[in-house]
Amino acid sequence: MANQISPRAAEKPPAEAVDGRDSYAVTAFSDIVDRSLHAAAARFTMGLSPAALTAAYLDWATHLAFSPGKQFQLIDKASRKAVRFASYIGRCASGDSKSPACIEPLPQDRRFAAAEWQKPPYNFMYQAFLFNQQWWHNATTGIRGVTKQHEDMVEFAARQMLDMASPSNFPLTNPEILRHTLSKGGMNLVTGMRNLVEDWERAISGKKPVGTENFVVGRDVAATPGKVIFRNRLIELIQYAPTTDKVQPEPVLIVPAWIMKYYILDLSRQNSLVRYLTGQGFTVFMISWKNPAPEDRDLGLDDYRSLGVMAALGAVHAIVPDRKVHAVGYCLGGTLLSIAAAAMARDSDDRLQSITLLAAQTDFHEAGELMLFINESQLAFLEDMMWEQGFLDSKQMAGAFQMLNSSDLVWSRMVRDYLMDERAPMTDLMAWNTDATRMPYRMHSEYLRRLFLNNDLAEGRYVVGDKPIALSDIRAPMFAVGTAHDHVAPWRSTYKINILTDADVTYLLTSGGHNAGIVSEPGHQGHSFQVLTKKADGRYIDPETYLTEAPRQDGSWWPEWVAWLKSRSGPLADPPQMGAPSADYAARGDAPGLYVLQD
């Protein structure tokens, strides 16, 4: 009896269990505290991690402090620049009005292009600024030992601060503003202040910018006739009405990016890609993504594949049976389409006739300046921000994109709108750009980690259905479009599709940027493109060789692509019915549907 344990004693948990339970509570509490603090800080840092920026700065500063040779080089550069600048001032002061500038702006820098900048004292101001800009570029790059990403982050931060301090941003140091103010009797500043107050009032009240009211969704944009023939918790599928007596037998399914509303591909009548395709005899289907709310926080990237691409493909196959599909993906939608196509190829699903990728990346190793914001510190900070609210808000994304080209998208616009009173008229593309969507917490975290940070898709580690997929399994012919001035999906990054697949790849490089290069309707002046095809058994051509060998053609790339689609389509046939009521794909309303109207 002495060795028996009393019932009361037996009920007591071991000390280790008590410690574990206490430890779990403390861990959960500390996790909530840290995440809440980070989420609160993100509201004041535009979603940028202070820890990530500090780490980059310390990496740069420490290595610079232990690089006396680099320091001496920077002192030497500063001295020589000072001598050149003093010599330039002396020549100008002696009356040499044709003295060449010491330093020229970069080709894309148009801030100092006006003739007034070439006269004293404004030429001295902008030349000093450019010297300073060049010196800081030298100071933040080329330091042995600094990681490439930290170097890029520090150089980027220095560029942001310099752009903020540019003499073009201030009335007293910008001769164009002074001339304009004198000619207007100062009324430009009065009107500019009125513009500033109006924009501020609209921003804090959640209203869209001035002029967007002229581009109503369903009336002015997204107005191509059609029907919503399918809806689930994530997408609406739109089938557009035919405009020709006969159509290509293979339908076109478009998968747009979910970061913005789908109708960038269905803008106004004259520049709608959807309307152009229907006019060329194609039956077109378009996915319209739902704007996620907090309750959608746990939707993952595979939900976007299954509830999005695969659900839409099933509906298209029911409406146009026994026909393969020309699948088209734009930006993130193209990445998702690539994932779906690779999984289909692995599983012997051959419903795709062709695959078109518009400014879409499949290898994220060189994903442009967006990689500045992609590391473990930044993603953890971003995840904490999304954890609190359940999604990534469109305003939190817009700031990062604007910072990539702040001299044009921020400061030059502020000068025009608030100092010069030259507010640019709103266009359909600009109005669309203000109509952003949110992204669910889980999906965006998976997208950034698995694709941007780890590059799982390109390196064969991306898993669909418990098994990895490989882009090299895709055999359907591919048409990939890159844009020459793309900050979001650099064309050399999208060009890597040539080495990731074993299919025939036609790669087309068009002029313009990520959006304006894709919205390139026939008749638009100043557009051009280059195109080459690499057969599945052909030899790889590197990007620089491609630039020299691919013939340049003037005009829109749309006709080139349509000819490519038609060459891979069968004989013309009667248009299919709108929807398939017998298969539960009856019309649920007119295009553009309900999801695109969600704020």
Assigned token pair, 452 = 């941007």
Closest-CA residue to 499 (of 463, 538, 455, 552): 538
Of the residues 235, 265, 267, 331, which is catalytic? 331
Strand order in the sheet with 552-554: 226-231, 235-240, 284-289, 252-255, 325-330, 352-358, 478-483, 505-510, 528-534, 552-554
Q: What are phi and psi of 130, to 5 degrees?
A: -65, -40
Q: What residues pair up with 285 in beta bridges, in sequence order?
A: 239, 253
Assigned token pair, 481 = 């479009």
Give all strands (DSSP E) within 294-361, no chain letters. 325-330, 352-358
Rama region for 465: left / alpha / beta (φ>0; ψ in -120 to 50; rest)? left
* CB contact set of 514 (below 8 Å; sequence gap of 6+): 331, 359, 483, 486, 487, 488, 489
C-alpha torsion 446→262→500→347, nearest 10: 80
592 upstream amide cis, omega within 30 of 0? yes
**Residue 33 three-state SS:** helix
User: Is residue 92 among the annotated active site residues?
Assistant: no
Beta strands 505-510 and 325-330 are: unpaired
DSSP string, 124-140: HHHHHHHHHHHHHHHHH
**Residue 244 three-state SS:** coil
Radius of gyration of the chain (CA): 28
Q: By the 8 A CB rule, do 234 and 567 touch?
A: no
| Active-site residue list | 331
